Amino acid sequence: MMQHIRPATVLAVAALLAATACTGQASAPPGFAGRQPSVDRGAGGGGADGARAFTLLASGDVLPHSSVIDRAAADADGNGYDFRPMLKGAAPLVRGADLAICHMETVYGKKGGPYTGYPSFRSPPEVAAALRATGFDSCSTASNHSMDDGVEGIGRTLDALDRAGVAHAGSARSAAEARRPAVLTAGTGKKAAKVAHLAYTYGTNDIPLPEGQPWAVNLIDKDRILADAREARRAGADVVVLSLHWGTEWQEAPDDMQRELGRELTASATDGRPDIDLIVGTHAHVPQAYEKVNGTWIVYGMGDQIAGAMIDDEGAPAPRGNESSMGRFTFAPPGEPGGRWKVTKAEFLPQWFDPVAGRITDLDDPAAGDGDRRREIRDRISAVVLSRGAAQDGLVRGK
C-alpha cells in the first residue's frame, strides 16, 4: 500500500495502489508545442546527415497544495493566481535547455475555483501559463491524481496547457488524441531532431477510468508502452522519452517494480536499436537514484519541484518532500542514418523549493544566504542521486 504525502496542515489519508491496465497513448494536438529552439543552440557537432546535438531537461512533480495556491494568490496581488515567481529560480536552467519536460501531477479546476489541495486536487489553470513562462515545452499529465475531478478535470487541464503552448502526454480528451504521440522538435528544418514524449501512471487512486473512455489516462503496462514507443519510432521519432509516475512514496531507493520494469523496458530493441532512449520518473516525492541500465539512463524519481510543506506517514515534518533534482541529458546524432541518438553527457541539478518563501532556490547561489543549510540539502540530494553507481557511468552534477 502507498500513502500519498500531504501538506502538514492536512490529516493523513491513505491512497491505495491502483491496479495497472492498458490504455492508449495521449498527446497534445497537433503534436508539438514548444519554443522550437534554434539548431544553433544544440550542444556539440553534427551527425552524418548534418543533424545537431541537443540538450533535454526533465524536472519533478508540480503539486500545488493549498499553501502553494495561497502563495500564488498573494503573488498575484489580488489578480488571480501567479505561479511564475515561485518557478523563477528554475527558469535559467529550464530555458537553457533545447527541450524541457515537466510533470503536471494535478488537474485544473474551473476558472474562478474553488481550488483545492490534498487529497483531491483542483489547481488554478494559471499554472499552465507559468510553466510556459518558465520555459517548459511539454508536461507529463498521467498521475494518481489525473482522475481527481473526472474527465472534466482532464479536459480543463489539457485545454489550459494548449492555450499556454505546452505539449502534454499521459491523458487525453478523445480516442483520436490518445493515439497521437506528443512530438517535440529540437532544431529547425529537415535536420531537426524529433523527440516523442510518452507518459504513464501506476494508477488513479482507485478512481475508475470513465466507462467507454479507457484512453482518458495512460496506465502502466509494459507491452503497451513498448508498442507505443515502436509506433512513435516508425512515425519518425529520433528519440523516445518516457515519463513514468511510479515507485513507493518516501522511499529513496527504487522499489522492485521500478527496477524490474526499468530493466525490461531498456532491454527492448527493434532491429538492434533500443525502443526507449530515456526514462524519467515521478511520484515518490523525494529524490531517487539515477542509473544507466542496458545502456539507457533511468531517473527513478526526481522528487517534487513544487509542493507545500509536508509531513510523513507518521506525522513528522518531512523536508525531503521539497527536495528534488532535474536531469539534463545531451543527445548526439548517430554517425550513420538510422542509428541511435546517444547520450554523450548526463547531468543532475539539485533543487530545493522553500515552502516558507514559496520559491525555488538556487542551491549554488552564494548571495542566497544560509549557505550551510543549502550545502547540506545539495549534498543530501547528490548522495541519493549517485547511490546506484551513476558516477561510474559518467553522471555529473551540472551547473
Q: pLDDT tens digits for 1-43? A: 233 333 332 222 222 223 222 222 233 332 333 333 322 334 4
Which residues fall within 8 angstroms of residue 78, CB to CB, at 6 or more apart?
Answer: none
pLDDT of residue 51: 83
pLDDT of residue 46: 59
**Distance in angstroms (rounded) separating the CA atoms of residues 246 and 243:** 9
Q: What is the mean pLDDT of residues 125-131?
A: 98
Q: Does position 296 have pLDDT exceeding 80, yes or no?
A: yes
**Distance in angstroms (rounded) separating the CA atoms of residues 125 and 115:** 10
Q: Does position 312 have pLDDT exceeding 60, yes or no?
A: yes
Phi first, then psi: what are they for 234, rounded to 5°?
-65, -30
The HSE-up count of residue 60 (CA atoms within 13 Å, CB side) is 32
pLDDT of residue 378: 96
Q: Does position 132 have pLDDT exceeding 80, yes or no?
A: yes
pLDDT of residue 28: 31
Which pLDDT band, with edges at 50, 70 and 90, does 313 fall under? confident
User: Which domains, from first to last, does the chain contain?
Assistant: 33-397 (3.60.21.10)
Which pLDDT band, with edges at 50, 70 and 90, does 49 fall under? low
Q: What is the mean pLDDT of residues 195-201?
A: 98
Spatial strand order in the sheet of 182-186: 182-186, 193-201, 239-245, 278-282, 296-299, 290-293
pLDDT of residue 17: 28
List, in sequence order, every residue forming a beta bridge with 55; answer none if it has no partner.
330
- Interval 244-291: pLDDT, tens: 999 999 999 999 999 999 999 999 999 999 999 999 999 999 999 999
Task: Find the range with the poorest average confidence among 48-57, 114-123, 198-207.
Answer: 48-57
pLDDT of residue 161: 98
Q: Does position 44 have pLDDT exceeding 90, yes or no?
A: no
| Structural contact between residues 186 and 228, judged by C-beta atoms closer than 8 angstroms | no
Task: Find the range with the poorest average confidence among 152-156, 267-271, 273-277, 370-374.
Answer: 370-374
Please indicate whether residue 100 or residue 43 has the higher confidence score (pLDDT).
100
Please compute Rg for the chain using Cα positions. 19
pLDDT of residue 292: 98
pLDDT of residue 282: 98
List, in sequence order, every residue forming a beta bridge with 116; answer none if it has no partner.
122
pLDDT of residue 25: 27
**Distance in angstroms (rounded) separating the CA atoms of residues 140 and 245:** 9
pLDDT of residue 45: 53
Q: Does position 368 have pLDDT exceeding 70, yes or no?
A: yes
Which pLDDT band, with edges at 50, 70 and 90, does 89 fall under? very high
CA angle 138, 143, 149 (to 5 degrees): 105
